[in-house]
Amino acid sequence: MSLILTEIKNRVGFITLNSEATLNSLNLSMIEALTTVIETWKTSEEVACIFIQGAGEKALCAGGDVRQLYDNIIAQRAIDPTQVPAGCFDFFAKEYALNYAIHTYPKPIIVWGHGIVMGGGIGVMVGASHRIVTERSKLAMPEITIGLFADVGATWFLNRMPSAYGVYLGLTGARLDAADCRFLGLADYYMESTEKQSVIDALVGMKWSDAIEKQVDELLATIAKKYVVAASQAAEHQAFISHFEGVTTLGEFRTVLNNYTPKDSWIEAGLQSFEKGSPSSAHIIFRQLKEGKDYTLAQVFQTELNLACQCCIHPDFAEGVRALLVDKDQSPKWQPATLEDVTDGWVDSYFTPLWTKENHVLKNLGKTE
C-alpha cells in the first residue's frame, strides 16, 4: 500500500496522506515521498495548484511516527548515547525541509485540515497558502507531554499569534477547534465538511487563467461565506492570556497560571498539561520562543533541527514516548523531575550546536540557487 496517493485532474495535483490506521501520521518514507511530489510539481505545467488531504474522516495527520523515533533512540543508546540516531536525524531534517518548502511554495497549496491535526500535521498545514478547517478539526502542539518541544516551525507561527497565545499554546498543548484556528491565524477558511466534494469539483472544473491564486481565493471564499464559525474559546480567554504578556521567566509563567482565578475547564486543562509535562521541555520551549522571535523562517528550521536532535540525545523524549505509546503507563519519569531541578546549564545543553553553520544540513534554506 502506498502511503502517499497522488493524482492530477485539470491541473490540480491531489495528494492524500494514506495511512488511515495510524491517523495518517508521518514516517520518513511519507515525508520523502511527499517532498518528491511537491518538488516535481513545483515547475510542472501540468499542475496549477495542490490539494492535500488525509485518508478517511478522522485526521489530516496526527503527527509524526514518534514510536519509530523511539526505537531509533533506544538502538543508538546501546551503541553510543552521545550520538544522534541516524534515523532521527533523517526524519527531522527532511520533515523540516518539507515544511520550509510548503511555506515558500510558488503555487497555491490547499490543505483540507479536517479531523485531528497535530504536531507534524500542523507542519504540513500551517505553511500552506489556503488552509481549510471544518466542524471536526482539532489542532494541537502537545509536544511538552512527550518531552519534545513545539517544532515544525512553531518558533515562527506561535510567535506570530496575538497577545501571549503562542507561549501559552507551546507550554500547554491546548486543543484548538476551527474557530480557534481562524482567530489565531492557523487557518484561512471555515466550512462544513460536507463541502469537501464541492471544493474538489469546483477546482477540477476550473478554467485556469494566469491569476491562479486569485481564482483559488475567490472559489474558497465563495464557499466559506455560507458559514459562520462558532465562538472561539481561545478568543473568549483573551483577558486570561493577557496576563502572560509581561512574563519574562518560566517561573513567572507558572505563577500566573497557577494563581489565576477563576479557572474554567479550558484553563484547568492547560494547567494540568503544563504541570504533567516534561520540565525540560517547558524550559526549552520558553527559551525557544523567546530567542526565536526575530528569526527568519530559515533560521527557525535550522535551530529547531538542532533542538530536535538534542532531544534525541537527552532523556525525556524517549521517556515520554515510552510512557505514552510503548508501556502506556502514562507515568513518565522525567529527568530532571521538576521545573526547579532544571539548571541553566541543562537548558544550555539543549541549545548547544551539533554542527557548524557551514556543515548544517539545512544551511541552504532561503538561499537562491
* pLDDT tens digits, 186-199: 999 999 999 999 99
- Are 266 and 174 spatial neighbours (Cβ–Cβ below 8 Å)? yes
Q: Which residues of the chain have pLDDT under 50?
A: 369
pLDDT at 368: 60
* pLDDT tens digits, 224-260: 999 999 999 999 999 999 999 999 999 999 999 999 9
pLDDT at 102: 98
118 CB burial (10 A radius; 0-12, 13-18, 19+): buried
Q: What are the cell numbers at 222?
A: 465563495
Q: What are the cell numbers at 238?
A: 483573551
Q: For the residues of 283-296, what is the DSSP string, one character each?
A: HHHHHHHHHTTT--
CB atoms within 10 A of CB 12: 23
Rounded alpha-carbon distances, angstroms, from residue 188 to 35, 56, 127, 220, 233: 23, 22, 11, 9, 18
Label the pairing between strands 109-113 and 49-54.
parallel
Determine if the pTM surpasses 0.85: yes
Q: CA–CA separation, 55 vs 104, rounded Å?
A: 25
Contacts of 357 (CB under 8 A, 6+ apart): 363
pLDDT at 369: 44
Average pLDDT of the chain, as a whole number:
97
Catalytic site residues?
64, 120, 143, 151
Please identify which residue in the block is written with the cell numbers 500552506: 128
